[in-house]
Chains A and B, each alone.
Chain A
């Protein structure tokens, strides 16, 4: 490790004022503080007295670590669904994992290159240090998209959301909407054929000669996608091989879906990591789940063939689709969520309720978690404002009574 430190120290003068690589000073600074704790801890004015080794780079890295179980399971599931669609059940664990890895690797690389490229460019123009917000976004984006989303579409969507959702508002920490979710929303509305239907959620490519092309007639709709075309009261959810899907499989995540969001088990592991390190707010996670359960129960009580998803039990509402992923990794984004504790309960609860309302009562959108989080992102500042105002009124009232 000290060799790396020495190397950085040796090349550092070239990036400082007057050095010949000064144009790339923000890149160097970004890499140095990514690898090592910065020498300076806070503003030199001495106005703050924070002594803690946690900074936003380390916060982001913990989130990335918490995403890893979902990511590895996504790799396995991508290969598993592909082989299942081919009818080959004999493929080894490692070959499934490798297939998924080779499928997703170009997406991750594309998301990082485009997103970080834009971030570095803006940091250089604005003469600021590079913000680390894209560390998480770059890994989140491939995880909430279909496994084989075309690379150029991903690049366009990432560029759009980094520029128009983050940079024009002032960069990391100032965005109103969740950048990763806007990327997905952009893809969803701009290229609907590549983001829905019964073909896109099972990988059909042959990266580096692995796997085989899928037959033309194959259908691999996600559970929620299948439900949207049925009429109940008994919902017939099948896997890509035609066998019925049970709740346990949905919990494990062996169902077609976006790359990283299928496994509720791995999302729970991620949630445990986030909560153990104090990164995510348990208030938001709990209230999103409560909202989803309540609205799922209400919808199930008033189930009607007009809205087939209302025949799902409220537990299934949590297991299918992106609900759990949104609750743990999207709703808890500290920048776009409500800040006050009371506000967090309201914010999370409404996300859960609206997500189930959209996926149940709008047959055009089989999944509503993305739109629910984006909608509540817009309302989070208003919720906070109301909570703070209510608190001030209460305290004023207490004062006047005493006088």
Chain B
């Protein structure tokens, strides 16, 4: 596989969220507003890209029996760094994301990429793979966060988008959009649209 397809495949054809259905838990948890969704996406990109590189560098020295533990240690170290950086430079957002930055460790996408790709490929390709998958994840997060914040709160990045006169005409924000179940429905709609454009992905 060329480096180009390693990087671009996870955007759509092999998207970790809507094709592999991984990392759904964090999609439900952090997408009620667009800003935390974006920050979460960037954090996952950083952790995924660098853990992929580190694991790829030491892949030939990791004893097979304890490879999962080694992978976890690397991811945990990176997550702590990201979490500390967020608390230092974006305190409000890190409060909103609360435990979910820490829970990046348990994100299935990370373990999946480390096991499936970084353990068997060279560092540069692994870096691109981590970057691509992280961006693929972030794209979905941002789309879900966009619809949930717009329909659930009438805002985007905290700025009022739905004008006041619409509220005066009787419009009410959809409270269900703020609740996690609606994130599943929005993800389902994305999958629906995605598969109707990519007929080869449709299950028989």
- Chain A residues proximal to chain B, CB less than 8 Å: 150, 152-153, 156, 164, 168, 186, 189-194
CA separation between A153 and B175, bound complex, in Å?
12
A163 to chain B, nearest CB (A): 10
Contact A190 B185 (CB under 8 A): no
Q: How many residues of B contact A (CB 8 A)?
A: 11
Residues of A within 8 A of B185 (CB): 164
Query: In the assembled complex, which residues on chain B have CB atoms less than 8 Å from the CB atom of A192?
Result: 175
Query: In the complex, A194→B179 CA distance in Å?
Result: 18
Nearest opposing residue in chain A for B172, CB measure: A191
Instruction: Give chain A residues whose Cβ lies under 8 Å from the Cβ of B192.
Output: 168
What CA separation (Å) do A193 and B170 show in the bound complex?
Answer: 12
Cross-chain contact A189 with B172 (CB below 8 angstroms) = no
Q: Which residues of B lie under 8 Å from residue A193 when comparing CB positions?
A: 172
How far apart are the CA atoms of A191 and B172 in the complex, in Å? 7
Q: Which residues in chain B, 178-196, are within 8 Å of chain A measured between CB atoms?
A: 179, 185, 188, 192
Counting residue pairs across A and B whose Cβ atoms lie within 8 Å, the total is: 23
Prevailing SS type, chain A contact patch: helix
Chain A residues contacting B174 (CB-CB under 8 Å) are 156, 190-191
When C-beta atoms are compared, the residue in chain B nearest to A153 turns out to be B172
Whether A189 pairs with B179 at a CB distance below 8 angstroms is: yes
A sample of 23 cross-chain residue pairs with beta-carbon separation below 8 angstroms, ordered by A number, consists of A150-B170, A150-B172, A152-B170, A152-B171, A153-B172, A156-B174, A164-B185, A164-B188, A168-B192, A186-B176, A189-B175, A189-B176, A189-B179, A190-B174, A190-B175, A190-B176, A190-B177, A191-B172, A191-B174, A191-B175, A192-B175, A193-B172, A194-B172
CA distance A150 to B171 in the complex (A): 9
Tell me how far the C-beta of B174 lies from the nearest C-beta in chain A, rounded to whole angstroms. 5
Chain B positions near chain A (C-beta within 8 angstroms): 170-172, 174-177, 179, 185, 188, 192
> Main SS of chain B's interface residues?
helix
Q: Distance in Å from the Cβ of A40 to the closest Cβ of chain B?
A: 30
Q: How far is the CA of A156 from the CA of B172 in the complex (A)?
A: 12
Cα of A193 to Cα of B174 in the assembled complex, Å: 11
Given contacts A153-B172, A190-B175, A192-B175, 5 further A-B contacts (CB under 8 A): A168-B192, A186-B176, A190-B174, A190-B176, A193-B172
Query: Which residues of B are found within 8 Å of A186, using beta-carbon distances?
Result: 176
How far apart sit A186 and B174, CA to CA, in the bound complex (Å)?
A: 9
The interface residues of chain B lying within 8 Å CB-to-CB of A153 are 172
Q: How far is the CB of B183 from chain A (nearest CB, A)?
A: 14
> Could you say which residues of chain A place their CB within 8 Å of the CB of B176?
186, 189-190
User: Contacts of A190 on B, CB cut-off 8 Å?
Assistant: 174-177
* Distance between Cα atoms of A168 and B174 in the complex (Å): 22
Would you give the shortest CB distance from B56 to chain A, in whole angstroms? 41
Collect the chain B residues with CB atoms within 8 Å of residue A152's CB. 170-171
